[in-house]
Amino acid sequence: MQNRLTTVAALTLSLIATAAAHAEGVRTEKNMSLDLATQIAAQTVATCSANGYNVTATVVDRAGTVRAVQRADNAGPHTLEASRLKAYTSASAKNTTLAIMEGSQKNPAAANLGQIPGYLLLGGGVPVKAGNEVIGAVGVGGAPGGHLDEQCAVAGIAKVQDLLK
């Protein structure tokens, strides 16, 4: 009887330890909803259009997966892929693509960042944050300069800031 109780107790402890180990492996993350992504893309394109720039805005979630795309009338065909790559780069690195580009130009150790598959080191990619957590990014292509693409992205995010709290 004593052996059986010892075995049951050992088994119970083992199951509890296994369950605890599995619980530690579960994470809860915030992510980008379709509605939020669509609003950011629309606001970003509207901001650029108001400034006379025909752009495409692509919004990705925290994993770099495309959630929404808006392309202004007369935006060049290259703006689709450029905006997607900027958004992916920004979400992946959790930084603006302008800052990543400038860092790679100034730091020889970071010069090869542009060689990472899927990375595009041009201004216009901006992370979207809920608090301090990056939940995605918006990439913009088509304005006459990456700094202008970035300004539109920042303005698009600012217009939905209340949804990011």
CATH code, domain with 58: 3.30.450.150
Query: Does 46 reside within a domain?
Result: yes
Q: Are 71 and 80 in contact (CB under 8 A)?
A: yes
Query: Does 26 reside within a domain?
Result: no
Q: Give the total number of structural domains in the chain.
A: 1
**Residue 61 gets which letter from DSSP?**
E
CA gap 74, 139 in Å, rounded:
18
Query: Does 22 reside within a domain?
Result: no
Q: What rounded mean pLDDT belongs to the chain? A: 90
pLDDT at 24: 77
pLDDT at 136: 98
Query: Does 110 reside within a domain?
Result: yes
Q: Are 123 and 145 in contact (CB under 8 A)?
A: yes
Query: Does 137 reside within a domain?
Result: yes
Query: Does 29 reside within a domain?
Result: no
Q: What is the domain extent for residue 129?
A: 34-164
pLDDT at 165: 86
Query: Does 138 reside within a domain?
Result: yes
Q: Which residues of the chain have pLDDT under 70?
A: 1-23
Query: Does 12 reside within a domain?
Result: no
What pTM value is reported for the model?
0.84
Alpha helices in the chain (DSSP H): 2-24, 34-50, 78-93, 97-106, 146-158
